[in-house]
């Protein structure tokens, strides 16, 4: 039976404020979405003796765009008036809920609920903003544990979660249609990272970017079998962008059910994390920890992470039973070897 170690449950105050945070983040997200939809302006422009209504706005890349809405008429005047009223209401609502979330963040810091390191949190938010998080990119590796612990209402020992990098799993299957915002015609992962921190640059290893403080971002993808199957290597078409590196075993995480959770960063603010199913994560980590070609220090860390996530699933995420028949993306031998991780004492 699994001995539950390295995991501490939220106390009553933490549980209450974590729920409050989730509810307020939902309201903040809705208000922000409405604000983004109404940002910009509608103006009249004289052309060939007539006034035409123009909608001006900035896309998520910061590029100014305009769209014509028609000649001046009762209909376009009403459209302009309704837009301006809606924009003013959206600004007021967002300002109100943003202040509420800032107060909630202070409470979260006081209760030590902040978990996700700021570099990691900023990158996840940037990917979420362009629509790539969960639609072509998932968080894997150590940082995925923040999603699992948040869903369970527990805190994992810092020695198990501490890391100076983030692994991004790129769903590179041929024919995949990324749900990237229409505002961004040519998404570039490196450009997204540089929007977070301008010191990010692609290293000699083209799958990796690093900033001035040594924080690393790795773009990884499964090793295809057979190797000539349709595959992608980049988020966009920029030759200078990061190129995903193939790693054995990642196809299990790629085919695993999506797992989404709201976590809290070190400043106390919430964010969305999209990772792979924790059962598959734990089984994969256990498999990696048994590989003789893995560095010994990393193997022990992999084993600890497998045990902790198995414990989270077995004790708290009981709606995710470890049933081999339901986890067909895992080789049977891998699933059977990992099964003891999920046993509950």
**Does residue 124 lie within any of the structural domains?**
no
Residue 177 has pLDDT above 70, yes or no: no
52 and 103 share one domain: yes
Tell me which residue range forms the domain holding 304. Answer: 277-345
Residue 175 has pLDDT above 50, yes or no: no
Q: What backbone phi and psi angles, to 5 degrees, belong to 181?
A: -55, 140
For residue 118, how far is the Cα from the chain centroid? 13
pLDDT of residue 61: 58
What DSSP string runs through 231-251?
B---SSS-TTS--PEEETTHH
205 and 146 share one domain: yes
149 and 211 share one domain: yes
Convert the pLDDT of each residue in 91-121 to its tens digit: 999 999 999 999 999 999 999 999 999 999 9
**Does residue 213 lie within any of the structural domains?**
yes
Give the pLDDT band (50/70/90) at residue 192. very high
Residue 8 has pLDDT above 90, yes or no: yes
83 and 22 share one domain: yes
Element (H, E) at 42: strand 41-47
Task: Select, from the ranges 48-52, 79-83, 281-285, 319-323, the one with the highest average predicted confidence (pLDDT).
Answer: 281-285
**Does residue 292 lie within any of the structural domains?**
yes
CB atoms under 10 Å from CB of 81, counted, come to 11
Rg (CA), the chain: 23
What DSSP string runs through 171-228?
--BTT------TT-SS--HHHHHHHH-TT-EE-SSTTEEE-TT--EEEEEEEPPSSTT
**Does residue 135 lie within any of the structural domains?**
no
Residue 269 has pLDDT above 90, yes or no: yes
Residue 183 has pLDDT above 80, yes or no: no
183 and 284 share one domain: no
Give the pLDDT band (50/70/90) at residue 2. very low
**CA nearest to 326, candidates 291, 272, 283:** 283
Mean pLDDT of the region 126-143 = 92
141: three-class secondary structure by DSSP? helix
149 and 239 share one domain: yes
Total number of domains in the chain: 3
Residue 176 has pLDDT above 70, yes or no: no
Residues in the chain: 345
176 and 228 share one domain: yes
146 and 246 share one domain: yes
pLDDT of residue 226: 62
CB atoms under 10 Å from CB of 41, counted, come to 14
147 and 241 share one domain: yes
pLDDT of residue 1: 38
Element (H, E) at 315: helix 296-315
pLDDT of residue 344: 73
Where would I find the H helices in the chain?
A: 12-38, 74-110, 118-129, 145-152, 158-161, 189-196, 250-255, 278-289, 296-315, 332-338
CA angle at residue 113 from 107 to 119, to 5 degrees?
110
Q: Which residue has the higher pLDDT, 182 or 200?
A: 200
94 and 155 share one domain: no
Give the pLDDT band (50/70/90) at residue 59. low
CB atoms under 10 Å from CB of 295, counted, come to 10
Residue 88, exposed/middle/buried by CB under 10 A (0-12, 13-18, 19+)? exposed
Q: Which residue has the higher pLDDT, 223 or 194?
A: 194
Residues 6+ apart with CB under 8 A from 77: none
Give the pLDDT band (50/70/90) at residue 231. low
173 and 224 share one domain: yes
Q: Which residues pair with 56 in a beta bridge?
A: 41, 66
Kindly state the tokens that stand for 270: 């919430």
149 and 244 share one domain: yes
Q: What mean pLDDT value characterizes the chain? A: 89
């Amino acid at each position: 039976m699994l001995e539950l170690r390295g995991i501490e449950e939220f106390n009553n105050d933490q549980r209450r404020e974590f729920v409050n945070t989730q509810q307020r983040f939902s309201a903040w997200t809705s208000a922000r979405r409405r604000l983004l939809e109404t940002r910009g302006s509608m103006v009249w422009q004289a052309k060939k003796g007539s006034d035409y209504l123009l909608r001006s706005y900035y896309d998520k890349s910061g590029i100014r765009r305009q769209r014509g809405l028609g000649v001046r008429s009762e209909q376009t005047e009403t459209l302009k008036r309704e837009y301006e009223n809606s924009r003013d209401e959206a600004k007021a609502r967002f300002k109100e809920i943003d202040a509420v979330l800032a107060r909630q963040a202070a409470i979260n810091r006081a209760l030590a609920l902040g978990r996700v390191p700021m570099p990691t949190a900023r990158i996840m938010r940037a990917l979420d903003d362009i629509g790539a998080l969960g639609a072509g990119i998932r968080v894997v590796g150590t940082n995925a544990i923040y999603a699992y612990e948040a869903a369970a209402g527990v805190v994992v020992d810092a020695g198990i979660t501490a890391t100076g990098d983030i692994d991004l799993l790129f769903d590179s299957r041929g024919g995949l249609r990324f749900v990237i915002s229409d505002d961004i015609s040519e998404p570039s992962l490196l450009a997204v990272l540089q929007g977070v921190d301008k010191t990010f640059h692609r290293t000699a290893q083209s799958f990796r970017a690093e900033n001035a403080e040594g924080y690393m971002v790795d773009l990884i993808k499964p090793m295809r079998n057979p190797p000539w199957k349709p595959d992608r290597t980049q988020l966009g078409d920029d030759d200078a962008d990061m190129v995903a590196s193939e790693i054995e075993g990642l196809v299990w995480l790629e085919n695993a059910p999506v797992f989404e959770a709201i976590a809290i960063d070190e400043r106390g603010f919430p964010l969305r994390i999209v990772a792979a199913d924790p059962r598959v994560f734990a089984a994969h980590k256990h498999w990696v920890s048994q590989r003789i070609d893995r560095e010994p220090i990393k193997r022990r860390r992999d084993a600890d992470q497998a045990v902790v996530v198995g414990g989270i699933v077995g004790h708290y995420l009981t709606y995710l039973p470890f049933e081999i028949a339901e986890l067909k993306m895992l080789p049977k031998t891998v699933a059977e070897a990992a099964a003891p991780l999920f046993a509950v004492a």
